[in-house]
Amino acid sequence: MRKILVSVSTAFVALGLIGAPAPAQAKPAAAHTVVTASYSAAGESVAQQNARRMAAAYLKSMPFSRKGLIAQLKYEGFSTKLATYGVDKQHANWKKQAARMAERYLKSMPFSRQGLIDQLVYEGFTLAQAKYGVTKAGL
């Protein structure tokens, strides 16, 4: 759990328990209270949040197929269930990921169209995603 420093009235406004005070009623917060926030209250456990955040970090740094990213998170120690949760919460466009990966491959070595499609399928992309990626990369 994380500790968040907020005024009690600010917390109640943020949670929707009270309305925001009118400008004439607004008072400066004299004292602050530490409120403990639980991610399970938002419907997401800390483990789920960590899996989601790690999946996001990987997608930001390099292209992955859905299957490949789940395998990477499992390698990092997440269960299949948590890895799948984290990956699916990204709502990634896997066709665009295939295009990014195809471009990376073409920058490092030459490929025939079919060779690159086969490589992307090997990396875990569907045939349709691989064909899209290779076409977008210019082959």
Residues with Cβ within 8 Å of 108's Cβ and at least 6 positions away in sequence, in order, are none
User: Each residue's pLDDT tens digit in the chain (139 positions)?
Assistant: 333 333 333 333 333 434 444 444 444 444 443 333 444 547 999 999 999 999 999 999 999 999 999 999 999 999 999 999 999 999 999 999 999 999 999 999 999 999 999 999 999 999 999 999 999 999 9
Amino acid at 102: A
Closest residue by Cα to residue 114 from 104, 125, 100, 127: 127
pTM of the model as a whole: 0.70
Domain locations in the chain? Answer: 2-37, 46-136
